[in-house]
């Protein structure tokens, strides 16, 4: 089944699979907007409208350890609210 842009992730495996296929995700978490993109063989993470929050990761595992509001991304993937997702 192909999910729509706004469908939540069912589990960590689905989130990782999306990123492994080059997927980009924009989402809300606690009323803040975030983006995950893939520039130049890296993974970029940013809180939108906060350019100081931009971080680059060499792999998905490192990204999953990154914390948003004190919680690792790996532990909130089913709670985020995507408003754009593609691959």
The answer as to whether 44 is a domain residue is yes
Structural domains counted in the chain: 1
Question: What local confidence, expressed as pLDDT, does residue 7 receive?
Answer: 85
Question: What local confidence, expressed as pLDDT, does residue 70 receive?
Answer: 96
- Which residue numbers in the chain have pLDDT < 70? 1-6
The answer as to whether 6 is a domain residue is no
Residue numbers of the domain that contains 42: 12-86
The answer as to whether 61 is a domain residue is yes
The answer as to whether 2 is a domain residue is no
The answer as to whether 81 is a domain residue is yes
The answer as to whether 34 is a domain residue is yes
The answer as to whether 43 is a domain residue is yes
- In contact, 71 and 79? CB cutoff 8 Å: no
pTM: 0.89
The answer as to whether 25 is a domain residue is yes
Cite the DSSP H helix spans in 1-87: 12-20, 60-65
- In contact, 46 and 68? CB cutoff 8 Å: no
């Amino acid at each position: 089944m192909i999910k729509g842009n706004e469908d939540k992730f069912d589990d960590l495996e689905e989130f990782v699979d999306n990123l492994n296929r080059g997927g980009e995700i924009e989402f809300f978490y606690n009323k803040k907007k975030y983006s995950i993109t893939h520039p130049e063989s890296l993974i970029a993470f940013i809180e939108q409208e906060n350019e100081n929050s931009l971080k680059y990761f060499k792999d998905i595992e490192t990204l999953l350890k990154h914390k948003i509001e004190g919680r690792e991304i790996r532990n909130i993937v089913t709670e985020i609210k995507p408003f754009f997702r593609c691959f």
